[in-house]
Amino acid sequence: MSSAADSAYDVVVIGAGLSGMYQLHRLRELGLRVRVFEAGADVGGTWYWNRYPGARFDSESWTYGYSFSDELLREWEWSEHFAAQPETLRYCNFVADTLDLRRDIEFGCRIRSAAYDEARSEWEIEIEDGRRARARWLITAIGPLSAPTMPSIPGVDTFRGEAYHTGTWPHRPVSFAGKRVGVIGTGATGVQTITEIAKTVGHLTVFQRTPNWCAPLHNGPIDAATQTRIKATYREIFAICRESFGCFIHQADPRHALEVSPEVREAFYEKLYREPGFGIWMGNFRDILINQEANATITEFMRRKIRERVRDPRVAETLTPTNHGFGTRRVPLESGYYEVFNQPNVRLVDLRETPIERITPAGVKTTAAEHALDMVIYATGFDAITGAFDRIEFRGRDGRRLRDKWVDGPRTYLGLQIEGFPNLFTLVGPHNAATFCNIPRCIEQNVEWVTALIRHMREKGHTRVEATAEAEPGWTGHVLDIGRPVPFTQVSSWLTGINSNLAGKQRRTFVVYAGGAPKYRERCDEVAAGGYVGFTFQ
Ligand code: NA7
């Protein structure tokens, strides 16, 4: 493909993951000249980078694919209810091939800066290799979890063995056989990695700082009859997702946890624990995530489950969260995670008791011991939601830097636009329902809404759109108001903007919209129906 940088486009999209790919497709339909710049060597975003062992969906595969195209739905078949990363990456490639997307995507291009040129009402984008491109509209499709962070532990660079971050996993096979492997981090990624490599590892040491409440995934193959049923009912499936809080197939039970007897409650929790996917989180009693007393009942149930599954009571205790209730952090789904700790070749190190002092050339040194290792795996997460924005120098009107504007937390309108940054749209950006969602469902909403706004501008002959100085604080205040009473906003995790490894990310902020996808969509639709209330056009 010839280099298309140093050129002018109608729209530049940053990122060729699920949101960038769909945005490209929709904008092409408007007849616009679109260029997508992607840092990776191919499409897929999250599914391109996160190749770590055990990486797979926690969403039901058949709820995750794009819903907009009957052709895509007809031609693609998921092999498992919760597909593994290689299959999902194949899906991304299938979409790129079917829609012929690659001819407008330039790979290996990491964006360094983007500056708004007021005189021309255009964005000027600079790629790290120094090339530039200009476009009327700039759309970020950079993902909420795309800026991996290493731990701020001294000595990381001194380790002599193999070292990997899960978010930048190598493309070649990695063997664990006979090796002494250490994993740092027990979030959703660490839980998947640990469970998978425990099957072949020589010896595994898990360095855990904060345990999470994990629930069984119950994955399985999709048989032919189920495949036929799924394909025949896609419309119903997507309709259910559309009306649920996070666009998952699981709908909250209308009952309150405390209005039923303890026996009924227990039986319901048991049933959910035996069922696949996020049902125990999203399809539970309607109040378990908003009422502390209700939350305590499911939390106690989950505590008992850990004790039942882990043989050594001390290890079970260490694996049991003490600082947050079930569901107030992202719930990792697992396939035998707790049983890993019954293996004789697996050791759990509690970093709350014995913190890591440093990484040494030979392994990991805690305050209690030095653990000799052949490999260290960092499952230490991401500079979430705003991190990918911070890594690009965005300059809006009057040279204002986005980083400065967001220094005390993001300020946005609908999580899609920012006052002072005309013609910039932030798919799956902060304050957007998509950050807490069965993400392609919300991506489709985001993309379709932005596409309609651009179509509107073209029809009216506008060259510039920007959130007003009133609309932005209105929305930002609404995000805060709706988030404040929700328990998960009072717990530290990437969902509340915390990253212990980064200066400036130690204070909780409201980075996600906690009102749920249906309410969010309704608001976006109202804004559009009212002629794009809260925006100024020129
Ligand atoms: P997470 O959920 O942010 O988890 C990161 C893990 O790494 C978590 O257990 C952290 O402990 C641990 N961590 C981070 N830094 C350190 C240091 N310095 N020392 C010890 N332990 C550390 O990231 P994931 O990749 O698992 O998941 C992110 C999302 O991606 C996930 O929710 C899915 O939606 C997809 P902590 O909890 O901070 O004590």
Instruction: Tell me the pLDDT of the chain (538 aa) as tens digits.
Output: 334 446 799 999 999 999 999 999 999 999 999 999 999 999 999 999 999 999 999 999 999 999 999 999 999 999 999 999 999 999 999 999 999 999 999 999 999 999 999 999 999 999 999 999 999 999 999 999 999 999 999 999 999 999 999 999 999 999 999 999 999 999 999 999 999 999 999 999 999 999 999 999 999 999 999 999 999 999 999 999 999 999 999 999 999 999 999 999 999 999 999 999 999 999 999 999 989 999 999 999 999 999 999 999 999 999 999 999 999 999 999 999 999 999 999 999 999 999 999 999 999 999 999 999 999 999 999 999 999 999 999 999 999 999 999 999 999 999 999 999 999 999 999 999 998 899 999 999 999 999 999 999 999 999 999 999 999 999 999 999 999 988 888 899 999 999 999 998 999 999 999 999 999 999 999 999 999 999 999 9
Q: How many Cα neighbours within 13 Å face the side chain of 429?
A: 26
Q: If you take atom 10 of ligand 1, which residue's CA is the nearest one?
A: 185
Contact indicator for 310, 214 with CB cutoff of 8 Å: no
Amino acid at 240: I
Task: Give yes or no for residue 358 CB within 6 A of ligand 1.
Answer: no
Task: Give yes or no for residue 47 CB within 6 A of ligand 1.
Answer: no
SS3 506: coil
Contact indicator for 419, 425 with CB cutoff of 8 Å: no
Ligand 1 atom closest to the Cα of residue 380 is 7
Task: Give yes or no for residue 512 CB within 6 A of ligand 1.
Answer: no
Task: Give yes or no for residue 330 CB within 6 A of ligand 1.
Answer: yes
Task: Give yes or no for residue 492 CB within 6 A of ligand 1.
Answer: no
β-strand pairing of 162-165 with 180-184: unpaired
425-444 burial by CB neighbour count: b if 16+ within 10 A, else e?
Answer: bbbbbbbbbbbbbbbbbbbb
Centre of ligand 1 to C-alpha 257, Å, is: 30
- The pairs formed by 196-200 with CB atoms below 8 angstroms and a separation of 24 or more are 196/53, 196/54, 197/53, 197/54, 197/377, 198/340, 198/343, 198/346, 200/175, 200/176
Q: How far apart are CA 336 and CA 17, in angstroms?
A: 30
What tokens does 484 get?
Answer: 């404040």
For the chain, how long is the longest CA-to-CA vector? 69
β-strand pairing of 370-372 with 363-366: antiparallel
Task: Give yes or no for residue 246 CB within 6 A of ligand 1.
Answer: no
Q: How far apart are CA 74 and CA 59, in angstroms?
A: 20
Task: Give yes or no for residue 145 CB within 6 A of ligand 1.
Answer: yes
Task: Give yes or no for residue 32 CB within 6 A of ligand 1.
Answer: no
Q: CA end-to-end span of the chain, whole Å?
A: 36
Ligand 1 atom closest to the Cα of residue 167 is 25
Task: Give yes or no for residue 188 CB within 6 A of ligand 1.
Answer: yes
Centre of ligand 1 to C-alpha 500, Å, is: 9
Q: What is the total residue count of the chain?
A: 538
Q: If you take atom 21 of ligand 1, which residue's CA is the nearest one?
A: 185
Whole-model pTM: value is 0.97
Centre of ligand 1 to C-alpha 119, Å, is: 44
Task: Give yes or no for residue 69 CB within 6 A of ligand 1.
Answer: no
CA distances from 301 to 50, 263, 371 (A): 32, 12, 34
Closest CA to 15 of 48, 55, 45, 52: 45
Centre of ligand 1 to C-alpha 304, Å, is: 24
Closest CA to 437 of 250, 185, 236, 189: 250
Task: Give yes or no for residue 354 CB within 6 A of ligand 1.
Answer: no
Three state DSSP letters for 217-256: CCCCECCHHHHHHHHHCHHHHHHHHHHCCCCCCCCCECCC
Closest CA to 15 of 36, 30, 41: 36
Q: Which of 153, 166, 183, 209 to mutate to test the pocket of ligand 1 (most atoms within 8 A of CB)?
A: 209
Task: Give yes or no for residue 185 CB within 6 A of ligand 1.
Answer: yes
Q: How far apart are CA 537 and CA 167, in angstroms?
A: 40
